[in-house]
Structure 1
């Protein structure tokens, strides 16, 4: 039987603080890549990190077995069917960010109906939000070269709201100097758990049970909470 001698891992390059790439060099950092490195070192399995690529491409390559592990993804039932899903690493709110000039501030998802929305290309924010958005919202999901473009769409009155992971959006406001033009709403569009995804097409799926055991130990010891807090208070890598 073939065994897993090395883990091929990749993740989003622009998801603060989950998984990020430095602007000056192709290095994948953040909570999930660092946690993966720690756990797989404990399992005596080296990790090879792939290059930056679009999110949907990563999911396709994970399903085909070109990658063994994806560092950070929301839980959905379709993903549970396609991949091995780790224990939850953290919980994250999905935020709604609006342009300041909007006449009425939305108080619920229903209040977004009829407004011009934007969501990062390929992003899924859980089945409840995705189904609601497909049925009732007008959302532009076009790919962009720079993530901060989403904030500029709000600043330039080309969109009314942006839906994105709350911490990620807060970082974008800072990087795009959009604080005078964009408002973060206090209520969440969704609340999701984040997990590692393991390809079912490679022998590394056999590591999932042991991976979960080490992950739970990191939770119990407080090491995971410390890692998350470290990245939440840092400036991030973009």
Structure 2
């Protein structure tokens, strides 16, 4: 009888061991994605670098021996859908809203995003406050948040349509189908150059908004402990200067992305700094 009990105990311990090993194998990697054409925050250029927030997440993953697996390029709304349903574990670079907090966990702020108004050069208008957009038609990427307060203001007071990609966004502005487009400043310049619209469209100098960017984690991730470790490691990178060093490496690229004709307002604060 004693031998039988030991045999059963051995089988039980073996099952527990195998189950533990299976969990370890299942959680030695995290699937990561981010918004397309979001330089310098997240982007893909085949170099092995993925922007300030993307590189921060990848570096943090490597530091805790978790393999970062980059997901396929997809529309922003699809990426958020996949994060919500646990198809991916991490999104590198997103704004935090009340609605998103119901769906995702968030890191502390990693960097700042800077949205600008893009208009036709021959139809530029003065923009210093949100009220200046009233009576005009705008456009942005579907699913893109501009920050909690601005989202609420826009819903109540502005007309802003949505499209799935930057090609449609800038082409609709150029074709006079809308009065302005909203996009990231740096990557917006790159997109205009790619589309050969950099001579006809410009960015208004005053930022629409500057918002903290976060890393978002799926509440349905198969690896909750791994994403907790990753979030903690991102905090350590901010404290030891590693996150700032990544941002600094992009400073020259950011400067070069701006056309010579672009001038930042005198009182406009630079957003490239380590936020605690």
Q: After the TM superposition, which residues 65-80 of structure 1 pair with which residues of structure 2 at under 5 Å, given as runs?
A: 65-80=86-101
State the partner residue of 1:132.
153
Q: Which of these residues, 214, 218, 222, is aligned with residue 199 of structure 1? A: 218
State the partner residue of 1:118.
139
Pairwise CA distance, 1:26: 11
Looking at structure 2, the residues matched to 153 and 171 of structure 1 have their Cα atoms a distance apart, in angstroms, of: 17
Is residue 161 of structure 1 aligned with residue 180 of structure 2? yes
Q: Report which of the two structures shows the higher radius of gyration computed on alpha carbons.
A: 2
Structure 2 gaps of 5+ residues are 1-19, 258-276
Pairwise CA distance, 1:223: 2.4
- With a CA cutoff of 8 Å and minimum separation of 6, indicate the structure with the bigger relative contact order: 1
State the partner residue of 1:105.
126
State the partner residue of 1:6.
29
Q: Which has the higher strand share?
A: 1
Q: Deviations over 1:140-191 (max 9, x none)?
A: 21324xx244223223322211111222223323333434322322322222
State the partner residue of 1:16.
39
Q: Which has the higher helix share?
A: 2
Pairwise CA distance, 1:13: 2.2
Is the 1:8–1:47 contact (alpha carbons within 8 Å) kept by the matching residues of 2? yes
State the partner residue of 2:116.
95
- Cα root mean square deviation, aligned: 2.4
Q: Deviations over 1:81-126 (max 9, x none)?
A: 2111011110122211222222642332111111121111221111
Cα distance change, pair 44–190 in 1 and its aligned pair in 2 (3 A): same
State the partner residue of 1:60.
81
Q: TM-score, normalised by structure 2?
A: 0.75
Match of 1:33, SS state, is helix
Is the 1:129–1:189 contact (alpha carbons within 8 Å) kept by the matching residues of 2? no
Structure 1 gaps of 5+ residues are none
Pairwise CA distance, 1:69: 0.9
Looking at structure 2, the residues matched to 182 and 11 of structure 1 have their Cα atoms a distance apart, in angstroms, of: 26
